[in-house]
Amino acid sequence: MNYKEALNFAESGLYGHFEQEEYMKKILILFENPQKNLKIIHIAGTNGKGTTGFYLSHLLESHGYKTGHFSSPHISDYRERIKINNKRIEKDAFIKACEEVKSKEEDISKCGRWPTYFEMSLLIAIIAFRENIDYLILETGIGGREDATNQVGNTVLSVITTIGLDHTQMLGKSLEEIAFHKAGIIKERTPAVSFVHNKNVDDVLKKEADVKNSPLYFVDPHENMEVEKGHAVLCYRDQKIRLKFLGLQQGYNANLAIKAYELLIGDLPRDFSILEKAVFEGRMEILNTAPLFIIDGAHNEEGITLLSENLKQIPYDKLILILGTMSDKEINNFSDIVDLSSVLILTKLEYERAQKPEKILKDYHADSEIYYEDSLEKAVDTALGKGGKNDLILCTGSLYLIGAVRDYIKKD
């Protein structure tokens, strides 16, 4: 197999979600349970999984632990899903893992069906991580209780980030129903840590922890945090840690990662300086400074609300918004950010579920100056043409979109 062949094989997974009890367990058994020696930190939540895992991985690495991180989706490169010490695995390691999976494709097919795209990436990741790491940070795909990652086992800590309304067709229409699914990652007699939510949501988490006889810790996301020109500043051990990321939620996620580290290791980190240098692709990432050009992967109502709060901390003359969405997303989810924009550029990404630019607004009335562009390249060029040096260009709505925009700008 060369790299292109390995990538094609990795992307051969089925699209969608299939309810098949213990399917992932059966697949892992075929490979003699490659996860059996891994210590897994399992993360669920509506938003913040990736950033929390990113910060925790950095903290563990800076204190001498070799840490794998499985996340999804990727932005530009498939191997973003499979990182060791915050670096994508080498192509040779990726090819080797794919070849191992392919060697058992006949046995896999006998398990009832071929894996989904997510299940395939999870399997490849676990094989790549086998024997190579001290800890594995494992992010759920959707929900938690019925998620493929919840069949992996070997959890030493469960982490629950935010709980908001997303994937309601699968997880339920209320926050309590969604919390029930997220709480499913709490394991028997295994510590768990979560953000503080509203009382009803936290009661759902507490009930699950009680049933599992597991200690549950809560983190106030605002604790130990200040804000300085749009950047979160954390205060620990008489140190002030200014995060490189823009945005309040980056401070919230770092607080949760620090508590997770403390529960794993038994003490706060000795050194926080790694957090001041860390930059995560596609999360309040700055691509240009005059005008300020930011991409952010907010794609649901909770994420957009957090994003609009972040913008209030950043000085700018006018906001130029590039927005592209999937066909299953309601424009009302994006109303907070649309209402802040002076110029709105609606665009389409090359993806089968992408919404057409002219259909994004539907019946929503926006007071912005509106442009419809049928390619992200035209959308970016229009935004840069409209932007003065004190303006802010923001691209959001889909991780697939911001990944493509990131590649386009960095290429130029």
pLDDT digits (tens, 9 = 90+) for 176-234: 999 999 999 999 999 999 999 999 999 999 999 999 999 999 999 999 999 887 789 99
Instruction: Tell whether the model's pLDDT for residue 136 goes beyond 70.
Output: yes
User: What average pLDDT does range 92-112 have in this prediction?
Assistant: 95
The confidence score (pLDDT) of residue 152 equals 94
Q: List pLDDT tens digits, range 289-345.
A: 889 999 988 877 778 888 888 888 888 999 999 998 877 666 666 788 888 899 999
Residues 345, 357: Cα–Cα separation, whole Å? 9
Give dist(CA 89, CA 128) in Å, integer.
8
Q: Is residue 412 predicted with pLDDT exceeding 80?
A: no
Whole-angstrom distance, CA of residue 73 vs CA of residue 118? 9
Question: pLDDT tens digits, residue range 349-394?
Answer: 777 777 888 887 877 788 899 999 988 899 999 999 999 999 999 9
CA distance 35 to 37: 6
| Domain covering 3-277 in this structure, CATH number | 3.40.1190.10
> Percent of the chain, pLDDT > 90?
65
pLDDT at site 302: 78
Res 20: pLDDT: 67
Tell me, what's the pLDDT at 281?
A: 78
> How is residue 109 written in tokens?
């097919």
For residue 82, what pLDDT band results from cuts at 50, 70 and 90? very high
Residue 103: per-residue pLDDT: 96
Query: Residue 156: its pLDDT value, please?
Result: 98
Per-residue pLDDT, 244: 85
Q: What percent of the chain has pLDDT over 70?
A: 96
CA distance 124 to 206: 34
On average, the pLDDT of the chain sits at 90
CA distance 97 to 90: 11
Parallel, antiparallel, or unpaired: how do β-strands 82-84 and 87-88 relate?
antiparallel
Nearest to 165 by CA among 305, 62, 54: 305
Average pLDDT over residues 126-155: 93
pLDDT band at 248 (very low <50, low <70, confident <90, very high): confident
For residue 407, count CB atoms less than 10 angstroms from its CB and return exposed for 0-12, middle for 13-18, buried for 19 or more.
middle
Residue 157: closest CA among 48, 261, 82: 261
Domain extents in the chain:
3-277, 285-411
Q: What is the pLDDT of residue 332?
A: 66
pLDDT at residue 19 tops 80 = no
- pLDDT for the residue numbered 227: 87
Q: Quick check: helix, strand or coil at residue 368?
A: coil
As a CATH number, domain 285-411 is 3.90.190.20
Q: Which range among 73-82, 132-141, 323-332 shows the weakest confidence by mean pLDDT?
A: 323-332
Residue 364, pLDDT score: 79
pTM over 0.85: yes
